[in-house]
A and B are shown apart, each in its own frame.
Chain A
């Protein structure tokens, strides 16, 4: 279910053109190397979900929905609720995505997005316990990739963050008989921070942010960092066969950190607007 077309002849020829543009500080769509495409975020679009968000970055379009259910904790973490982030690259999303079980790229995408949210401790899982070791709240965040034009890592991450941050859940209590009661009243899900993921593509020797499908098809390496509110790195992942020298790794962190600060304001605003 790979959503990105592998570099074949035409893409390789295109690469020469892209590299030439990059050396002049330009991209095929007219953006600067470190410019994002316009980001559009809508929340609360699926009434049956506890929280939901549609994120568009240029032509890339994803939708995330949160379902909060009651489940059993993992035996090794009896004092923790559950958080599962799952990303589905739907065959609907591109001509190169096929139906069937997720391939390694789709699994990497889902795991990198999950890791950023999990490691940032955006949701305090210890507050989701109903009966220690027996019953906890389980947060399922499912992301549907609807339209693919690059940078699925960041789009899926922003949709996940926006949907979690705007989630509400039924007020629950444990009765004396050990039964869990859910009231009609909904309360907002508490969050600790807003993790922001920034993915850089390295093409030849240049870094760009927010790559399109066309750029991803020719990139040598990809690197994603997730930052918390304090600008601390909470997760990272390098992908694709290309390499980064040590200075490039440092540079990538610097670029991503500055970009995360900028994107955080956009995400924060959409969350604030949603909460009124």
Chain B
């Protein structure tokens, strides 16, 4: 058994129990995409592209009153400790679905009838919590693509290791720990858009963990905002537009 929390209450990478890993978000990293972003969340490195709204193929999938959102979460073969086969796994397909459902409530899809919005997430390096980092980056890429949104979506995982509720589990903590719970919220509308849980939590621990995740999301939301503001209202841009 690995010692996940030391006698000072610090985790293996020196974080406190309620601390996230360092976060860096960049906007507009790909030329071809209508919107794009890159996130580093600890050792997670994820690039996201948004294409659309555009015509739906095959056509019969188009909806007369709104756009459809499709997400594809994919891990690069070199993103994990042992090489991952390039073909999408069942895990990646499920994650693609929950990411799509986490983002959809924030999008005003009724503005784009008979179209599709594609969100492609490529995990270049995975280190626990990649779906949360992916959701956070996707919301930024959707905003960069100029898609009408009700709110941002921001996500963070929370869990339990060595009997303590902790924020933002990394790979080792996720594997050795007792519980992992990814949460995504719309920070201004105060709505939960994703909630998954595996492991054991008492109802009291659940409440504490959920609150911790929401607070972390609010903090990460500020990082999202700053990345977008820097891109669109950054000092370099002033006077040019």
A binding-site residues for B, Cβ under 8 Å: 45-49, 52, 59, 61, 63, 65-67, 69, 86, 88, 90-95, 98-99, 140, 142, 144, 146-149
If A90-B122, A95-B32 touch, whether A67 touches B77 (CB-CB below 8 Å) is: yes
Chain B residues whose CB sits within 8 angstroms of the CB of A95 once the complex forms: 32, 51, 54
Chain A residues whose CB sits within 8 angstroms of the CB of B74 once the complex forms: 90
Say whether B79 faces chain A, with CB atoms less than 8 Å apart: yes
In the complex, the answer to whether A142 meets B120 with C-beta atoms within 8 Å is: no
In the bound assembly, the distance between CA atoms of A95 and B81 in angstroms comes to 31
In the bound assembly, the distance between CA atoms of A146 and B54 in angstroms comes to 20
Chain B residues whose CB sits within 8 angstroms of the CB of A67 once the complex forms: 77-78, 82-83
- Please count how many residues in chain B sit with their CB below 8 Å of the partner chain's CB atoms: 30
Q: How far is the CB of B146 from chain A (nearest CB, A)?
A: 15
Q: Given A91-B51, A91-B120, 10 other A-B contacts at CB below 8 A?
A: A46-B124, A48-B81, A59-B31, A63-B124, A91-B49, A91-B72, A92-B33, A146-B122, A147-B30, A147-B31
In the bound assembly, the distance between CA atoms of A148 and B31 in angstroms comes to 8
Top 8 A-B pairs ranked by shortest CB distance? A65-B78, A142-B77, A92-B120, A67-B83, A92-B49, A49-B78, A59-B31, A147-B30
In the bound assembly, the distance between CA atoms of A76 and B78 in angstroms comes to 27
In the complex, the answer to whether A99 meets B72 with C-beta atoms within 8 Å is: yes
- What number of A-B contacts does a CB cutoff of 8 Å give? 87
Q: How far is the CB of B28 from chain A (nearest CB, A)?
A: 11
Chain B residues whose CB sits within 8 angstroms of the CB of A147 once the complex forms: 30-33
For B57-93 the 0/1 string (1 means CB < 8 A from A) is: 1000000000000001010111111110010000000
In the complex, the answer to whether B78 meets A86 with C-beta atoms within 8 Å is: no
Chain B, interface SS category = loop
* 16 CB-based A-B contacts, threshold 8 Å: A45-B45, A48-B79, A65-B76, A65-B77, A65-B79, A66-B78, A86-B86, A92-B30, A93-B32, A142-B86, A144-B76, A146-B30, A147-B30, A147-B31, A147-B32, A149-B31
Say whether B118 faces chain A, with CB atoms less than 8 Å apart: yes
Chain B residues whose CB sits within 8 angstroms of the CB of A65 once the complex forms: 76-79, 124
Chain A residues whose CB sits within 8 angstroms of the CB of B103 once the complex forms: none
In the bound assembly, the distance between CA atoms of A49 and B74 in angstroms comes to 17
